[in-house]
Structure 1
Amino acid sequence: MSTLAPSTAPGARPAGHAADWDFGDFPYGLEPLAMPPAGHAPADAGHLSVTLAPCDPDGVRRELRALSGGGPPPGRPAVPPAPSYDQLFWFRWITGHQVAFALWRLMGRTLSALPARDAVPGPAAMARLESWTHAYAAMLLYSGSCPRGLYQRLIRPAMFLQHRGFSGVWAPDFAQVRSLLRGRPLPWTSDPRAAGVRAAVHAHRLVHDAVADRLVPSGRSLLQQTVAESPVRPSERTAVLYDNFFMTLRGAVPDEAVAGQLLRRLRAVGLDLAVNGLYPLGRDEGPGGPGGYGGPDGAAAWDARVAWCERRVGTVLAAAADHAAPLARRASTTL
């Protein structure tokens, strides 16, 4: 297992205090995500009560705004670097996906609140959809920030062991936003007032394709590799398999609690990025060797729009928190 040199090299700067990290049981630890039923995900009648960690929405907003400047907030030390690349990128893969699930849920809430399918969202709703779509693109970059070699060695095999056809199309919460995020025309998306949302969706699609091309240059997902021999349609069973992999529980969870959990994860992501950066090993090289991040053969895929999204990750997360905080203020910590 590779170690992170900054935390172990002689003469390295002192590590930050773990007390600054309040997510999971230790820095870069994981937390289960509690979500309401969606898509094919069943509501478990035996779902046990869950006590959620407390969240200070306004404190998270202030901290993320400070972190978006590229470092820890004034007067607070940084959290320690992760002890290994495996732990760091596994945290990013699981937590980044959990953030996406929460964003999809809140976006779905906004869409479902429209009085009619052809109604144009109001300015506040439009701003939320635009912000959270950009935040989802940021999570694609964050989750996929591992080198190609590490992805092929650690993450892809873990998904294969869960199911040989493991696929993102099984994600229960994506059903609420599938049409919007896949660029399928909705009655209101051609309205001039939706220009910001359209641009965010376009940017997200570019980021998605660029990350996929870098991590899986063959272009064949696990589902595509196995569909001929064992086709699997999304179902309640695949939803449970998907949720289980990403540590997601289902039950009577209000959207206020979803927003609170989102903010806690955004803070953890912000702290991670302040210490490690988006690409701790550099984007063009990694444990996979030259070209681990696409190299010369993949450079064309990483166009200016994707680079623009990379530069804005911190401010995008802060904006997403601003839009989630009003809902999270009403959350209870006990479900």
Structure 2
Amino acid sequence: MTSPSDGTLVAEPRTDAWEFGDFAYGLEPLTMPPVGDATVSSALVPSALPPCNPDLVLFRLRLLAEGGTPDLPDTFTDPTDDQLFWFRWITGHQISFLIWHLMGEILERNTDREIPDRASLARLETYAYGYCAMLLYTGSCPIDLYQSLIRPRMYLQHRSFSGTWASDFVPVRGLFRGRGVARGDAPEAAGLARAVDVHKTIHDGIAARLVPEGRSLLQQTMKETVVRPSERTAILYDNFFMTLRAPVDGEGITSQLLRRLDAVASDVAARGLYPLGYGGDERPKELRSAEVAHCENRIGHLLHEVGEAAATPAKPLS
């Protein structure tokens, strides 16, 4: 960062191919607009958002989706398993927040319509599959590492730590629960309904694999205390995922998303979706379905499609 005479922080452009964080598999804070219980924590964006060249990122995403090899800098070093899967857990969730935000905007623009227009439905479908990709990406860690690294850290943040505290999910909760247009009653919404169904299959499969006993931290502690979503839990959740709340415009949302998609696509291209393998037929039946395999095989394309959708301005509703 440089500091001009007025004291404003300005992000300096990076010159190497891995342009996320301060080092390979480093993390970046995410800045999101307030929503639900998550209120503004700053009247201003805390610092200049890192630079992003959308055309360059989309070019790289397309090349990686088509089987290209990431051009990693000479200083790039292999991460430890802890570093790799902690990066995937945090950054994958941040991408999910951004996707939910973009979907929420579409739903809000179509509030007065029983069925969103075709362009909006296509974007919703693209983003829904993008969320499927993030579920697979964050859930790619081995169960022993999840149990030894990720779950204990969530427990230390709060013994009832829960995904129900995710404020950005509130505007799309009904959609991902198969309500409204996601029921698929309208023929033009059939693709979106299928994407929502695939999301549920993946979500249930990852939960069954990572938490075999079937009880989340929230469910485990319900006898001790009942913790409902509130401004306090929203802060705890945002803090865990390095998320700040401040006014952010559409360009800021897109640039933050593209930077993360670029890093994730480079990671998957270099190491694969399952760098430590997975249990083959021992995987839950949900994760052995043809629909899930299709998402796994197309994850690079899904990342590129999300980037293209986010970087293309939506046309005004007629």
| Alpha-carbon displacement from aligned partner over 1:207-259 (angstroms, at most 9, x marks no partner) | 11111111111110000101121110000000000000000000111232111
Query: What corresponds to 1:250 in structure 2?
Result: 245
Query: What corresponds to 1:89 in structure 2?
Result: 85
5+ residue gaps, structure 2, are: 1-14
Q: Report if aligned partners of 2:124, 2:192 keep a CA contact under 8 Å in 1.
A: yes
Shift of 1:299: 4.4
The two structures have a TM-score, normalised by structure 2, of 0.89
Query: What corresponds to 2:194 in structure 1?
Result: 199
Shift of 1:71: 3.3
1:227 to 222, 229, 237: 222
Shift of 1:124: 1.5
SS in 2 for 1:273: helix
Q: Report if aligned partners of 1:256, 1:327 keep a CA contact under 8 Å in 2.
A: no
Give aligned pairs, total.
298
2:92 corresponds to which letter in structure 1? G
Q: Report if aligned partners of 1:207, 1:306 keep a CA contact under 8 Å in 2.
A: yes
SS in 2 for 1:177: helix
| Alpha-carbon displacement from aligned partner over 1:129-169 (angstroms, at most 9, x marks no partner) | 00000000000000010000000000000000000000000
Query: What corresponds to 1:326 in structure 2?
Result: 312
5+ residue gaps, structure 1, are: 1-17, 285-294, 329-335
Query: What corresponds to 1:149 in structure 2?
Result: 144
Change (3 A) 1:81 1:206: farther
Query: What corresponds to 1:107 in structure 2?
Result: 103
Shift of 1:41: 0.2
Query: What corresponds to 1:175 in structure 2?
Result: 170
C-alpha distance in 2 between matches for 1:298 and 1:65: 30
Q: Report if aligned partners of 2:42, 2:245 keep a CA contact under 8 Å in 1.
A: no
Mapping for residues 286-297 of structure 1, pairs under 5 Å: 296-297=281-282
Q: Report if aligned partners of 2:209, 2:283 keep a CA contact under 8 Å in 1.
A: yes
1:310 to 284, 296, 305: 296
Query: What corresponds to 1:301 in structure 2?
Result: 286
Between the aligned residues of both structures, percent identity stands at 54
Shift of 1:126: 1.0
| Alpha-carbon displacement from aligned partner over 1:159-218 (angstroms, at most 9, x marks no partner) | 000000000000010001000011123498421110110111011111111111111111
Shift of 1:326: 2.5
SS in 2 for 1:116: coil
C-alpha distance in 1 between matches for 2:198 and 2:53: 31
2:286 corresponds to which letter in structure 1? A
Query: What corresponds to 1:27 in structure 2?
Result: 24
Q: Report if aligned partners of 1:68, 1:315 keep a CA contact under 8 Å in 2.
A: yes
Query: What corresponds to 1:124 in structure 2?
Result: 119
C-alpha distance in 1 between matches for 2:181 and 2:118: 17
SS in 2 for 1:20: coil
Q: Report if aligned partners of 1:108, 1:177 keep a CA contact under 8 Å in 2.
A: yes
Query: What corresponds to 2:278 in structure 1?
Result: 283
Change (3 A) 1:150 1:51: same
Shift of 1:83: 2.4
2:302 corresponds to which letter in structure 1? V
Change (3 A) 1:48 1:125: closer
C-alpha distance in 2 between matches for 1:93 and 1:187: 27
Shift of 1:43: 1.1
Q: Report if aligned partners of 2:136, 2:296 keep a CA contact under 8 Å in 1.
A: yes
C-alpha distance in 1 between matches for 2:171 and 2:157: 24
SS in 1 for 2:121: helix
